[in-house]
């Protein structure tokens, strides 16, 4: 039998190596030694570190370890380039992005080979997935550049963007960051990961060939200190980071109070849910892609297999058989399925976690296949019958390791899927379309794939919930991350009046005499009921002349705990139809208007100002967001695949809102109304100085069909309560309107669970301005977008 006949009989793979010669020649042309790309020029190499091929351990090149001075030079170049670049027409910027896309396609094989050599991923993945998607992002955003002003009227670019990317998709992450930033009119300073800097440096040459203006794109290589210099640089206007949740929390703290824009795409522990009616063979092929694509070094990897109990044994038997056919080897071999992990330190980390998973009761399976020696290779690994409490069920492994557990009912599947601090992606396999579309909205993840996995496109936003970060990359929401309202750049510091400023001196609780008549100390409002403060203390409320006009409870940590528990118990508010939420907001407006004179008098007593206009504005604001409740919705994207991706606009969850000291009624209503309209539940801390308008408002709540726990009101000292709320893991987002110092504290303290924040930073936001605040500004901040990918056709 001849050789070809033998191959057809055995169906054994033969080697199909990709030549590294052109990539090696490119490295040699640079003498295998690189400086930074700053202001359109190459700097001389400084102190360097080695970039190695993880499949062989051999050094590819020496890369400069950027200093704070290097970062400063890059930021100055980007700042100098910003005025001219942002002043170009969208069409002119789009032409540059189009040129970059064409040049990437023209040199796609060089990029693919270099990426594989530097990162260790199989050439089939870099050639067929990564590089085409890179070009797609620049093409897509060339169009956004031209249509920016039409789709984002009265918005402007941030300015200089600092961007830090990881090593698992080196060039693709670069495209996700740079393409929208340039389309929006920003200039950038980008730091690639220290393990994988080479394709970013090759991209710098593409920028040269495209004649991109000097300073628009700057590439600074380096290790952790280089990234810290970028996040801490005072002249950078926005930070975009992709990487671990732990580092993301550090960046959130470092940028607190600076006013920098921030988007974080962090870790994940994504569930891969297989129901008993699924096409098992298709689900297993999808699973191979979900967890062993890029050696499992994927933030959205389907690393938690949840399989229905009735098919568990059969599914695992087939899965193990499929695992035994996977080929681990030279990433430049086009017949290889699994390449090398990025570095020895990653191999050690993954190995340690596997040992821990087995020690905690998991059942280990590794196929009897060969792996090369001398490189960073691991076998595909399955740890089955894992408990939800097992370390490997909760920690991101970031390697070719799948953990498995079973479920019985769809409700249990959802509970297990959401039993994680992460919320990046999820996969559902079922032949029942009703079941799939019932489960998808219940999963707390920014991306859901139905009967498919690892679908990405420039037209579809990608990003997470919870500790997987915030902000989106791709799609319209990704463009929005690189723009801000023009008027925000013109805000002035808030000048507090005596009527809107709480005294900071120590208070004697008995120094104020109670107003004549029956005591009417206002209670808090928690879980649909009036509640006395846990502290047992009350706070006086003075009018502008200093006269005592009332008292309110002095809230503490326990009151906040009770309010957060009530808000979380009421999260079903988000599943109430938008029409019903609108009706209830209309009822609030109607019942507030019935009592307009009473509320106006209360405002005058607290502030000395005529409250009629403020009450009227509050009624109008409730009407406005009642009108938005069933109109602020998503879209259906049209990616190149035979799929639709539905962008679902969802509530953030339980929100904390700390109202500004001024405008005792409108200051709260302007923030609470958009949050409630979008389905969030709220813990409100009203104006510290003038809280009586909102303690009166709970009487309106009680007559307007507002479900218990949807709006909870805790009075007290704003700064103290803000800290408790910012640190509380039961709060999903926090808005604070007040001084700069407390704003900074709120942003830093929110890093604990990476909650989304909006703070006024001591600036004056005129919440009475209908054009600015009756629409998208707070609606966008009260929501997050989930993209659900649905295949169609044969």
Which H or E run includes 428?
Answer: strand 425-429
What distance in Å separates the CA atoms of residue 233 and residue 73, rounded to the nearest whole number? 11
What distance in Å separates the CA atoms of residue 790 and residue 785, rounded to the nearest whole number? 16
What distance in Å separates the CA atoms of residue 79 and residue 132, rounded to the nearest whole number? 31
Q: Which of 18, 115, 161, 299 is catalytic?
A: 299
Estimate to the nearest angstrom the gap between the alpha carbon of 465 and the chain centroid. 6
User: 82 with 301: CB under 8 angstroms?
Assistant: no
- 287-323 exposure pattern, b = at least 16 Cβ within 10 A, e = fewer: bbbbbbbbbbbbbbbbbbbbbbeebbeebbeebeebb
Tokens representing 33 are 């030694």
What distance in Å separates the CA atoms of residue 328 and residue 736, rounded to the nearest whole number? 52
The packing angle between helices 108-119 and 90-106, to 10°, is 70
Cα-based distances in Å from 366 to 195, 275, 326, 354, 722: 28, 24, 11, 11, 50
654 CB contacts (<8 Å, ≥6 apart)? 564, 567, 568, 571, 680, 681, 682, 683, 730, 731, 732
User: 422 with 270: CB under 8 angstroms?
Assistant: yes
Q: Which of 18, 52, 265, 467 is catalytic?
A: 265
What distance in Å separates the CA atoms of residue 335 and residue 338, rounded to the nearest whole number? 10
What distance in Å separates the CA atoms of residue 441 and residue 781, rounded to the nearest whole number? 19
For 56-89, the three-class secondary structure string (H helix, E strand, C coil) is: CCCEEEEEECCCHHHHHHHHHHHHHHHHHHHHCC
Residue for token digits 């010669």? 21
User: 249 with 751: CB under 8 angstroms?
Assistant: yes
What distance in Å separates the CA atoms of residue 7 and residue 9, rounded to the nearest whole number? 5
Residue from 195, 203, 204 nearest 51 by CA:
195
> Is 161 labeled as catalytic in the residue annotation?
no
Bridging pattern class, strands 548-553 and 756-759: unpaired
Instruction: Give bridge partners of residue 425 from the DSSP assignment.
Output: 447
Instruction: Give bridge partners of residue 636 from the DSSP assignment.
Output: 646
User: 216 with 85: CB under 8 angstroms?
Assistant: yes
Burial, 615: exposed, middle or buried (Cβ in 10 Å; 0-12, 13-18, 19+)?
buried
For 562-607, the three-class secondary structure string (H helix, E strand, C coil) is: HHHHHHHHCHHHHHCCHHHHHHHHHHHHHHHHHCHHHHHHHHHHHH
**Which region holds residue 570: left if phi is over 0, alpha if psi is between -120 and 50, else beta?**
alpha
The packing angle between helices 245-255 and 740-749, to 10°, is 180
For 318-366, the three-class secondary structure string (H helix, E strand, C coil) is: HHHHHHCCCCECCCCECCCCECCCCCHHHHHHHHHHHHHHHHCCCEEEC
What distance in Å separates the CA atoms of residue 708 and residue 525, rounded to the nearest whole number? 10
What distance in Å separates the CA atoms of residue 371 and residue 322, rounded to the nearest whole number? 16
Residue from 20, 157, 142, 154 nearest 82 by CA:
157
User: 159 with 483: CB under 8 angstroms?
Assistant: no
* Helix, strand and coil in the chain, % to nearest 5: 45, 20, 40
What distance in Å separates the CA atoms of residue 732 and residue 729, rounded to the nearest whole number? 7
> Is 376 labeled as catalytic in the residue annotation?
no
List active site positions: 265, 299
């Amino acid at each position: 039998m001849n050789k070809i006949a033998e191959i057809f009989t055995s169906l054994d793979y033969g080697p199909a190596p990709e030549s590294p010669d052109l990539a090696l020649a490119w490295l040699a042309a640079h003498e295998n030694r690189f400086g930074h790309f700053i202001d359109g020029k190459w700097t001389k190499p400084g102190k360097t570190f080695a970039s190695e091929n993880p499949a062989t351990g051999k050094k590819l090149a020496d890369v400069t370890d950027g200093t704070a001075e290097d970062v400063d030079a890059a930021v100055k170049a980007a700042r100098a380039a910003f005025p001219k670049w942002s002043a170009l027409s969208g069409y002119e910027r789009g032409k540059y992005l189009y040129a970059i896309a064409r040049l990437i396609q023209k040199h796609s094989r060089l990029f693919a080979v270099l990426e594989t050599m530097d990162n260790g991923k199989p050439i089939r993945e870099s050639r067929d997935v990564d590089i085409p998607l890179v070009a797609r992002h620049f093409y897509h955003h060339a169009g956004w550049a031209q249509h920016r002003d039409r789709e984002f009227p009265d918005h402007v670019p941030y300015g200089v963007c600092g961007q830090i990317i990881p090593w698992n998709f080196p060039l693709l992450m670069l495209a996700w960051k740079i393409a929208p930033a340039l389309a929006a009119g920003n200039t950038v300073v980008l730091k690639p990961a220290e393990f994988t800097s080479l394709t970013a440096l090759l991209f710098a040459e593409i920028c040269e060939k495209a004649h991109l203006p000097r300073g628009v794109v700057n590439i600074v290589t380096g290790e952790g200190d280089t990234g810290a210099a970028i996040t801490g640089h005072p002249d950078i206007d926005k930070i975009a980071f992709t990487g671990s949740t732990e580092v993301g929390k550090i960046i959130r703290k470092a940028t607190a109070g600076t006013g920098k824009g921030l988007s974080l795409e962090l870790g994940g522990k994504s569930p891969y849910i297989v129901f008993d009616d699924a096409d098992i063979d298709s689900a297993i092929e999808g699973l191979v892609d979900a967890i062993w694509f890029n050696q499992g070094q994927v933030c959205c990897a389907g690393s938690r297999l949840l399989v229905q109990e009735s098919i568990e044994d059969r599914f695992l038997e087939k899965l193990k058989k499929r695992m035994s056919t996977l080929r681990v080897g030279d990433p430049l071999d086009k017949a290889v399925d699994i390449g090398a992990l990025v570095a020895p330190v990653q191999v050690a980390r993954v190995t340690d976690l596997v040992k821990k998973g087995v020690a905690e009761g998991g059942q280990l399976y590794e196929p009897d296949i060969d792996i090369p020696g001398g490189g960073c290779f691991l076998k595909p690994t399955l740890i089955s019958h894992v408990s939800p409490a097992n370390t490997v069920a909760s920690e991101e492994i970031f390697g070719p390791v799948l953990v498995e557990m079973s479920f019985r009912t769809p409700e249990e599947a959802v509970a297990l899927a959401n039993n994680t601090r992460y919320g990046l992606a999820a996969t559902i396999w079922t032949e029942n379309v009703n079941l799939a579309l019932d489960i998808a909205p219940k999963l707390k993840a920014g991306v859901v794939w139905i009967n498919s996995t690892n679908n990405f496109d420039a037209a579809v936003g990608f990003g997470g919930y919870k500790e997987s970060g915030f902000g989106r990359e791709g799609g319209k929401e990704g463009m929005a991350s690189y723009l801000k309202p023009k008027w925000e750049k013109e805000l002035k510091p808030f000048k507090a009046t005596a009527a809107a400023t709480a005294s900071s001196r120590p208070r004697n609780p008995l120094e104020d005499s109670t107003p004549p008549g029956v005591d009417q100390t206002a209670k808090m409002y928690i879980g649909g009921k009036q509640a006395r403060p846990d502290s047992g203390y009350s706070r006086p409320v003075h009018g502008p002349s200093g006269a005592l006009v009332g008292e309110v409870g002095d809230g503490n940590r326990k009151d906040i705990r009770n309010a957060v528990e009530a808000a979380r118990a009421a999260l079903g508010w988000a599943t109430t139809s938008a029409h019903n939420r609108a009706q209830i907001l209309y009822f609030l407006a109607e019942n507030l208007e019935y009592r307009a004179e009473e509320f106006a008098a209360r405002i005058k007593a607290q502030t000395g100002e005529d409250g009629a206009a403020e009450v009227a504005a509050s009624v109008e604001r409730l009407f406005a967001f009642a009108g938005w409740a069933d109109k602020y919705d998503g879209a259906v994207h049209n990616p190149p695949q035979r799929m639709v991706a539905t962008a679902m606009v969802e509530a953030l969850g339980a929100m904390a809102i700390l109202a500004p000291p001024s405008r005792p009624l409108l200051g709260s209503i302007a923030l609470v109304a958009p949050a409630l309209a979008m389905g969030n539940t709220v813990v409100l801390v009203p104006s510290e100085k003038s809280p009586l308008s909102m303690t009166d408002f709970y009487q309106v709540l009680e007559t307007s069909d507002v479900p218990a726990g949807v709006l909870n009101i805790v009075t007290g000292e704003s700064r103290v309560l803000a800290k408790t709320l910012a640190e509380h893991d039961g709060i999903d987002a926090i808005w604070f309107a007040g001084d700069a110092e407390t704003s900074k504290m709120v942003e830093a303290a929110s890093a604990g669970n990476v909650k989304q924040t909006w703070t006024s930073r001591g600036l004056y936001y005129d919440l009475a301005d209908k054009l600015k605040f009756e629409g998208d500004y707070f609606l966008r901040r009260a929501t997050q977008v989930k993209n659900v990918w649905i295949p169609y056709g044969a």
